[in-house]
Amino acid sequence: MAKEYCYPQREPIDYSLAGLYHDTMLELTSQQKNEDSYNPQIFHDILYQCEPHEFCMKVFTNALYANPKRSDEELHKLHSTLQALPTTKSFNSTLQFSYNDLPKEYKSCLLYLAIFSHGQKIRRSTLIARWVAEGLTSKEDWPSSVRQANRCFDTLVGRCLVDPADIDGMGNVKSCVVSHPVHGFITTIARKQHIVETRLSHHLARHFSIFNDLQLRSSDRIDQFFKGLSKSSQVSLLKVLDLEGCQCFGGKNQRYLKDICSKMLLLKYLSLRRTDITQLPNEINNLRELEVLDIRETKVPPHATARILLLKLKRLLAGHIDPSDFGSTPRIPHRIDKMGNMEVLSNVKAQQSHDLKDIGRLWQLRKLGVVIDDKDSHLRNLLKAISDLHECLCSLSITISVAVPHEAELPEVNVSYLKNHPKILESLSIRGTSQKWRLLPLFIKGDTNKLAKITLCHTLLSQDDLEVLAKLPKLRCVRLQHIACTEHKLNFKKGEFGCLKYLLVEESDLTNINFEDEAASELEKMVLSITSICSISGVDHLPNLKELELNSSFCGSLLSSFDNATHIAKLTLSGTLLQQDALQLLTKKSNIRSLVLLDKSFSGSQNEITLKKDEFLWLNLLVVDCSAITKIVFNSGCAPKLEKIVWSSSTSLSGIDKLPRLKDLEFKGDQVLPEVREAIENHKNKPSFRSNGPETQD
């Protein structure tokens, strides 16, 4: 088939994966000013021993990139080891090569991941806080430990020891997963070092500190642990208790939290996120060593957080903000001024204006998320607090308890309230609309503005505001949700938004989005969730647009507007209710490497998708999680470069033996169909397969 695409016609050159990685390796080493230059043959020999496993090549290449000063002895030892092993055993050897070179603290942090299941999504923020609480990053103070933990996380991602799962609009990896080969490798080492305790059931291990005296069987549930907690003597040394998602506090079991606060006095990290707790007991203040308290997505009443007084607390991550009921938002602690170690204070509401004034005394506060009433006193004291924190505040989220934007012209806030503009503010979120003032202009003025991310929700955006945003020198991410635009359109003008990488527009009253030539020239990802008729033009002027996400039925009609956006490599559809003919148009697009079809991406309920010869010639990844797609049939010559398929129980697969490059399958459901499992087992590539069924309730 390759001959047909060669001009003039001749035999195509077939590059092996090992050859491509070898070229990368030579380019890397040629840039290094290293007196002891390597013989490039050793790279060639190692990479060809790794075939056909690209993962091994990737781990080896990234390990050498991270530290090019590896000795010839190390390289020849790796080559000899690979020679002596069958190719199926090459994973551990290359992983060991990368692991050996890690600093001691980074090794401990990597092994820590063995307490989670392979393929489980793990939030970066959770890992960082837990690593620090466990003492795995051995710096003398919290900020230094957090910085080292972040560097460790980035290193593990960079070495392909963990895989990115979610990446935000700023390009930061927000969550990760541990692949099956890595998980097996680190679990073996972690057991030898007693980081994973054999006496503690694996599905429960993620809840507790890694070093503990607990003994729980695999048949035990987390609520059984709490039943005997009041009499237990094994929990006094626990530093971490992560109960996210555990539904074990209902009814009389609310006393379990009181037992925790009375028995685990050395706790540094307590997550109750998405649990069924409905109260915080007064005993919460017994946890005098506590550094992180997470009660997001719970029904803890507002007054419960007002009583918190924990002098070592560094992160208070409070409940969710409900736009329909701001009164349910947890309150700022009455004695917040005494909690001087606080670095993150999120999703809390000011009951009195002086609560906001007290926040100005938290000299280490980096992230602030606060709900205020639309009162002069609230706004005045908030701005004074922000002014007091101008040296340390990096992230600011302001929610005003009026969620209906209007187009009336309002004055800007009195500048005198904000005497000192935040020097290092990178992220700004404004939700809700004041009936008295316009907040946005206050924070986006100034030549030295470092703002990189702006989120506007349920607020007014004028063309003047857009033009000021356009001139922010470091703005990379803009999220516009439920906004009202004075002119009902967004016009990105030539030369503006020069650094913008990510644009999200959700449920706004726009009728047109236009990009002029050389506007937003660095834009890489666009997410549209528009719920009314809207046109978009000029996307062919976006040379770096690589990823497009459409999330509503109105967006489905916009798909044709991107016909000339030839650089889009990843397309995600959700709620677009497309017809079969729309998919046929997509199959001919040579630029698409990744296609994600989510819920309601297709209309109807019995859609069988048949891919024919020469369709999706460059597709590498296919994700299908749409109940309307019941079957996908692959015919010979279709998707010749498809390497990975992720699908759910509502969809069956046929013809995967026709996919010559297939090497990875992931099933989301209870049980894969026997004929599909047989096809996987008989595939000549012996692709890896994993099934991610519903999580077991602990």
Please, which pLDDT band fits residue 695 given cuts at 50, 70 and 90?
Answer: very low
Domain locations in the chain as residue ranges: 7-100, 104-192, 569-698
Q: What is the 3-state secondary structure (H, E, C) of 579-601?
A: CHHHHHHHHCCCCCCEEEECCCC
> In this predicted structure, what is the pLDDT of residue 31?
66
- Sheet (strand 489-492) strand order: 489-492, 512-515, 535-537
> In this predicted structure, what is the pLDDT of residue 1?
45
Mean pLDDT for 49-73 is 86
Residue 138 has pLDDT above 90, yes or no: no
Provide the H-helix boundaries in 553-673: 553-556, 580-587
The string of DSSP codes covering 431-481 is ES--SS-B-HHHHS-STT----EEEEESSEE-HHHHHHHHT-TT--EEEEE
Mean pLDDT for 207-234 is 75
Q: Which residue has the tokens 């409940």?
A: 319
pLDDT digits (tens, 9 = 90+) for 449-467: 899 999 999 888 888 888 8
C-alpha span between 292 and 314 (Å, rounded)? 6
Q: Bigger pLDDT: 585 or 336?
A: 336
Least confident of 78-92, 437-451, 610-624: 437-451
Please, which pLDDT band fits residue 4 given cuts at 50, 70 and 90?
Answer: very low
Whole-model pTM? 0.88
Residue 23 has pLDDT above 50, yes or no: yes
Residue 11 has pLDDT above 60, yes or no: no
> In this predicted structure, what is the pLDDT of residue 439?
83
Q: Is 512 left (phi over 0), alpha (psi -120 to 50) or beta?
A: beta
Q: Bigger pLDDT: 154 or 87?
A: 154
Backbone phi, then psi, for 509, in 5-degree steps? -90, 30
Q: Bigger pLDDT: 270 or 198?
A: 270
Please, which pLDDT band fits residue 693 given cuts at 50, 70 and 90?
Answer: low
Q: pLDDT above 90 covers what percent of the chain?
A: 50
Mean pLDDT for 151-170 is 93
Our CA dihedral for 231, 236, 239, 241, rounded to 10 degrees, sits at 0
Contacts of 515 (CB under 8 A, 6+ apart): 492, 537, 538, 539, 541, 542
Residue 586 has pLDDT above 50, yes or no: yes
- Mean per-residue pLDDT over the chain, rounded: 86
> In this predicted structure, what is the pLDDT of residue 534?
83
Q: pLDDT above 70 covers what percent of the chain?
A: 88
Give 3-state DSSP helix, strand, coil % of the chain, rounded to 5. Answer: 35, 20, 50
Please, which pLDDT band fits residue 129 given cuts at 50, 70 and 90?
Answer: very high
Looking from the CA of 5 toward its CB, the CA atoms found within 13 Å total: 8
Least confident of 24-28, 124-128, 262-266, 692-696: 692-696
C-alpha span between 290 and 268 (Å, rounded)? 4
DSSP H/E element including 526: strand 525-529
The string of DSSP codes covering 158-173 is HTTSSEEEEE-TTS-E
Residue 151's identity, in one-letter code, is: R
pLDDT digits (tens, 9 = 90+) for 252-301: 888 999 999 999 999 999 999 999 999 999 999 999 999 999 999 999 99
Q: Bigger pLDDT: 204 or 233?
A: 204
**Residues present in the chain in total:** 698
Provide the H-helix boundaries in 67-175: 72-84, 90-100, 104-112, 124-134, 142-158
Mean pLDDT for 79-97 is 85
| C-beta of residue 307 within 8 angstroms of C-beta of residue 290 | no
C-alpha span between 116 and 190 (Å, rounded)? 12
Least confident of 84-93, 146-155, 406-415: 406-415
Our CA dihedral for 59, 61, 62, 63, rounded to 10 degrees, sits at 80
Residue 451's identity, in one-letter code, is: L
CATH number (1.25.10, 3.30.310, 3.30.450, 1.10.10) of 104-192 reads 1.10.10
Mean pLDDT for 586-613 is 88
Q: Hey, CA dihedral for 196, 201, 205, 206, is it positive or negative?
A: positive
Please, which pLDDT band fits residue 403 given cuts at 50, 70 and 90?
Answer: low
Mean pLDDT for 352-376 is 93
Q: Compute and round to an integer the Cα radius of gyration of the chain.
A: 27
C-alpha span between 653 and 676 (Å, rounded)? 6
Contacts of 552 (CB under 8 A, 6+ apart): 528, 529, 530, 531, 575, 576
Range among 222-231, 402-411, 459-468, 626-635 rated most confident: 626-635
In a 3-state reduction of DSSP, which class is residue 294? strand
> In this predicted structure, what is the pLDDT of residue 32?
63
Residue 448 has pLDDT above 80, yes or no: no
